[in-house]
Amino acid sequence: MKTIIAIAQNLELCPIEKCSPDIQAGIREIRNESSIRKNMYQEKEIRSDEHESWIAHVKSSKSIQFFAVLDVNQKLIGGLSFSNIDMNNRRADWAFYLTSHVQGRGYGKALEFLALEYAFVTLELNKLNCEVIGWNKAVQKLHETFGFQLEGIRRQHVYRNEKYHDTTLLGITANEWEKQKVKWEIS
């Protein structure tokens, strides 16, 4: 089986504002897939004008970075975001998604590895945080295998399907990642 690092080496992260119009439009299509939007805070389908405004916002913002994820054939397979980037406190939040056609093949782990390396090596953050809606246990487990620690539960934070759901707060420090990453490099 291909290692996570080998898969990661074949992925390219393209800042959304530098991507072709086709790739930019493709991000909206993937983000609107039902298996993805149901796991996001904003579940409704994103219209094309909303998407354009969001890209303009990302372009002008210092606290958001969004990358289109391309496979070895330059095919768009997902998105990776860093938000609330705060260089005074050297921290940020992150999130990711992959089109349903490629899920379950190790790309998620490879992308999580790349996200952690980008956060701690390229951006030189001290802390990376994320939030997972309560039912998304598989993704919580995935984050924990990379060394994310449970930091809290935000109770009844999301109203969906006529019920309130908790969200799980997770975080990892630069020192924790330094110790964790070795296990991925040798596996």
Ligand X SMILES: CC(C)(COP(=O)(O)OP(=O)(O)OC[C@H]1O[C@@H](n2cnc3c(N)ncnc32)[C@H](O)[C@@H]1OP(=O)(O)O)[C@@H](O)C(=O)NCCC(=O)NCCS
Name the site residues for ligand X (rule: CB under 6 A): 35-36, 39, 95-98, 103-109, 132, 136, 138-139, 142
| Interhelix angle 107-117/174-186, nearest 10 degrees | 140
Alpha-carbon gap, residue 176 to 171, rounded angstroms: 10
Query: For residue 37, which amino acid is it?
Result: R
Smaller CB separation from ligand X, 96 or 148:
96
Stretch (H or E) spanning 167: strand 163-173
Min dist CB 115 to ligand X, Å, is: 10
Question: Phi and psi dihedrals of 20, rounded to 5?
Answer: -65, 160
Smaller CB separation from ligand X, 73 or 88:
73
Min dist CB 121 to ligand X, Å, is: 21
Smaller CB separation from ligand X, 94 or 177:
94
| Interhelix angle 137-145/107-117, nearest 10 degrees | 50
Return the residue nearest ligand X (CB atom): 108
Smaller CB separation from ligand X, 93 or 176:
93
Min dist CB 99 to ligand X, Å, is: 8
